[in-house]
Each structure stands twice: as C-alpha cells, then as structure tokens.
Amino acid sequence: MADSYDFIIAGGGSAGCALAGRLSENPRNRVLLLEAGGKDNSVFIHAPGGLLPIMYRGMFQWMHVSVPQANAGGRQMYTPRGKVLGGSSSINGMVYDRGAAADYDGWRQLGNEGWSYDDVLPYFKKLEDFQPGGEEGYHGRGGPVLVSRPGIHNPLAKAFRDASIAAGVPYNDDPSGSQREGVVPADVTASAGRRWSAARAYLTPALKRPNLRVITGANVERVIMEDGRATGVSWRRAGQLEQANATREVILSAGAIHSPWILMLSGIGDAEHLRQVGAPVVHHLPGVGQNYRDHVAVSVKQYCTQPVSLFNVFHPLVAAKAVANFLLFRKGPLASPPAEIGAYLKTMPGAEYPDVKVHFAMALYEAMGRKLIMDHGYFAHIDLLNPESVGEIKLTGSDASAPLAIDPNILSTPKDMAMGRAAIRAVRNIFAQAPFDPFRGEELAPGASIQSDDELDAYLRETAISDIHAVGTCRMGHDPMAVVDPQLRVRGIAGLRVVDASVMPRVPGGNTNVPTMMVAEKAADMILNA
C-alpha cells in the first residue's frame, strides 16, 4: 500500500524547499518532498565562486534546449534548470533581486487580488535576513535566506560604477527600496563564503523533523486523480515506478518548465493538443504550457588591456589552489560571488521604470558559461526586462521519456528588437566613459564596426539568448487561459495547487529566484489558512 501524507510537494527547488520548510513547521502536517536530482553536497554548489564550473560542466542541471527560434537565426536556446535539492537556487548567480514594485502592481491590475506590491512586500521581508542594511521599511531581519553585499573591490567593477555615473546614471545603494533605477552594488544570497540556496535556508533546518520526508532521485511523472480531485502522485526512481497518496493537497513546485509538463502528462491541458500526442484527457485547461515568458539577454564584450579580470582563475593550477583554499579556510576566489556591481537602466523613450538590467562580469565567456574566452576582458550581460515576446511549452509524446518542445519565441516583436538595440547603445556609452580608459581594449562583441540598426539587428538575431528566467506557463488569473486562481489552486481540480514561477502572469523586472521564494512564502500562508 502506498504511503500517505497530508501534503506532497513535487519539486525541491526554490519554491519546493520553502514550502516544505514552512508546511512542516506544524508537527501535525506530514509532508513529502520529491526531487528529481540528488543532494546538494558538492563543494561547487556551496562555494559562491563555484558558479562558473557548474555552468561550464553542465552539472546539476536539466539540459533542456528549445526548438529552433524563427527570429534568432534558427538557433536553439540553451534552457537549463536546476536538478538538485535547491533547484536553480543551488546553481544560479546568487543575485538578490525582487523586481520592481510596478511588476506586482501589474499582476494585481490583471485581476490577481492579493498580489500587489503592498501585498507581497511582507513576504519578501519574511524570507530574508538582509545584512547590508537597506532602506528603512523595505527589508527583513532574521529570515531564513541570508543576503549579503560582497562590495565593490575589483578595479573593473569600480570603473563600471564610476563610468555609469559619468554617463548620467545615478548611484542607487538599494534597488529593493523606493527607487529602482541606477548603478547598484550587488546583493547576493550568500554569506561568509557560502551560497545560501533555498535548500540551505529552508530545508537543512527542517530535515530533523520527523514529519518531513525528502526523496531525491524521484522524477515525478503524474498527478493521480479520482473524481476530479488530486489524490497523490507517481514518480520514477532508479527505474522503478512509485507513488504516494495526499490526504490534503498535491503541490506542483517543479518550475515553469516541469510543472506544466507534469500537468499535461497527467491529462490536464489543452484537450486537442493532448489527443494529438496520445496523452489522456482528464481536464481541458488550455492555458497549460502557454504564456511562456522570459528575459532576453544580449551582450557587449570588451578586451581588457590590464591583467585585472578574473581570467587568471581559469588556469588549472590557480583553480586547484582556489578549491584547496576554500575547503581549508573558506577564502579565496571560490568564497566570493562573481557579481560585484550592476545597473538598472531606462533605455527606451518615455520609460517610466528601468527596462534593462546590466550584469557586469569581470571575465569573458559565452553560452551561459559553457565556453570560456581565454583572455582578459569584461562584459555586460544585459537583460531586457519586459519583452513582449511570448512562447509556449508542448508535449512531443504521451510519457515522460519524450522531450518537451520548448519555444521561448524570442525577438518576435519590433519593440523587443528596439529594446535590444537601445540596451547595447546604452552600455557602449558607459564603456566609452573616462573611468574605463586604463582598461579599454578592442570591442569583441558586437564589434566596433557594428553600428547601424540593421547591423545591430543582425547581431541580436545571431547572439541573443533566452535568459533562463522562465515564468508564466501555469499563470494565475480568472480568464479562460488562466491555469490557477489567485490562491494558486488549479482551476477545475480539487486538492491541487501550483506554487512556483510558472504562476507568475508576467516576468518580474529582475532575477526570478527571490520572487519565486516569495510566492512560496505567500502560498504557505494560503495553504495553512485554508
């Protein structure tokens, strides 16, 4: 007979770990957390500087790729997601970013009551232990997620700060406060030389609780339903099919790619599409897998004439010493997050809020870190924060062994192309300021000869990428294409919720890890008060 729990959570990532931690605080709640990946015990996960080896080697990830992109030269977008306890919070760049207040007020204006910025701010504050200080009234102390500020130390980071100011960008000490625009010091989910993932923040303290069970290597395939109600889940582990029953709720927290995948494999989705691939039809819900939204990333890369970048860290002997230094003393390059500084810029005419985020990197790489450029340099990884392009996720078969058809549909509108051009020109203006004079080498990309709109458009179509901040594929709302209601309950199915980035109707104007944990904190209150 299958084991029974009050709550079964499918997915041990940013949302799932937070939910498991909060729901199991009540000893009467029996909670099962299922994660397809393994335990988060690698030094590269816990070392903040281990990000580049993780991305370079493709460790702890679902190695998804998109379908060929019609507006990006037929290229397939690399679309990895975390496959380990902590999910993407265990392998990301650790950037602490909420997005703008207007993002959440926009959710509310779409009809999602309870999701305005005033509604969600208490949950941002609840989740954090914000060490840098910050603007009064906007930050929490004593929460599970430690947030620190590495400081601006590298000469290139200082040059970016000073050059931004010279270009007319204001300095902003707290982009999570009342003002968003400006060149900003990086706040990170790391402290004292350790990454502070959702697993470390929420799950590690909860593992000793007898009412919480965590199973790794468990690839959830289906939600079990009886008479319109979710009653359990089935998963595959080491080749064997297993299942468990849920007496109160099944909660999908598998992320914007995997939560709609599980729903569709379970027969919940667009009925015509499910029939086309031979999947069962249990409940027609046409919005499942639709509304795929993500930031688009473009870049400006510059060679550096001085040996001050992070290039030296890539040398095998230097890297080996860095690992030893971290293991013995928790010091050195691996103990420091790679981010020191960034900027939120208004680049489009009449922009009320920043439409671009610049991640300033003190090294040169391509393909999300999978290809290193072995020379000194620096570059701007630029997120277009509010792209209009909307994609979708579809099944290619009726079982979990069939790959997904992931279509971000990037650069599909003239406005997105215009945003990309404006972003490149804004960053070039910063890089041209006097503080970069001692360091500025040849522009590697786009290249000094690429100047006209047509030339920049060609560069965008050749190089722009989907920035693995996917949301929206199980979006909340009240209209026929909504998958969940504002309480995150799947419409038409009792006892089933989705709690992760897939419920966000629009992508926030910033990194999505912290907003996802906020969603989980708010959902935990909803569930416990139901």
Domain ranges (residues) in the chain: 152-185+296-384+412-463
Query: DSSP character for 416?
Result: H
| Contact status, residue 11 vs residue 19, Cβ threshold 8 Å | no
Distance CA 369, CA 395 (A): 29
| Contact status, residue 131 vs residue 146, Cβ threshold 8 Å | yes
Those residues whose C-beta lies under 8 Å from the C-beta of residue 268, and which sit 6 or more positions away, are 223, 282, 283, 285, 288, 490, 493
Q: Residue 194's closest CA among 46, 39, 324, 323?
A: 46
Distance CA 149, CA 133 (A): 10
Sign for the pseudo-dihedral over CA of 397, 488, 510, 202: negative
Crossing angle of helices 155-166 and 414-431, rounded to 10°: 110
pLDDT in tens, the chain (530 residues): 679 999 999 999 999 999 999 999 999 999 999 999 999 999 889 998 887 778 767 789 999 999 999 999 999 999 999 999 999 999 999 999 999 999 999 999 999 999 999 999 999 999 999 999 899 999 999 999 999 999 999 999 999 999 999 999 999 999 999 999 999 999 999 999 999 999 999 999 999 999 999 999 999 999 999 999 999 999 999 999 999 999 999 999 999 999 999 999 999 999 999 999 999 999 999 999 999 999 999 999 999 999 988 777 666 676 678 778 777 767 777 777 878 999 999 999 999 999 999 999 998 887 665 677 889 999 999 999 999 999 999 999 999 999 999 999 999 999 999 999 999 999 999 999 999 999 999 999 999 999 999 999 999 999 999 999 999 999 999 999 999 999 999 999 999 999 999 999 999 999 999 999 999 999 999 999 98
State the DSSP H helix or E strand holding residue 453, giving kind and residue range, or none if neither: helix 453-463
Q: Are strands 194-195 and 190-191 parallel, antiparallel or unpaired?
A: antiparallel
Distance CA 40, CA 43 (A): 9
CA distances from 515 to 97, 101, 203, 471 (A): 8, 12, 18, 11
Those residues whose C-beta lies under 8 Å from the C-beta of residue 84, and which sit 6 or more positions away, are 35, 37, 38, 39, 40, 45, 60, 90, 91
Sign for the pseudo-dihedral over CA of 182, 384, 14, 99: positive
Question: Which two three-digit tokens encode residue 507?
Answer: 């992508």
Confirm whether 469 is a catalytic residue: yes
Distance CA 211, CA 31 (A): 6
How would CATH label the architecture of 152-185+296-384+412-463? 2-Layer Sandwich (3.30)
Sign for the pseudo-dihedral over CA of 66, 42, 383, 319: negative
Q: Going along 83-181, which residue ranges are E strands?
A: 128-130, 145-147
Query: DSSP character for 170?
Result: P
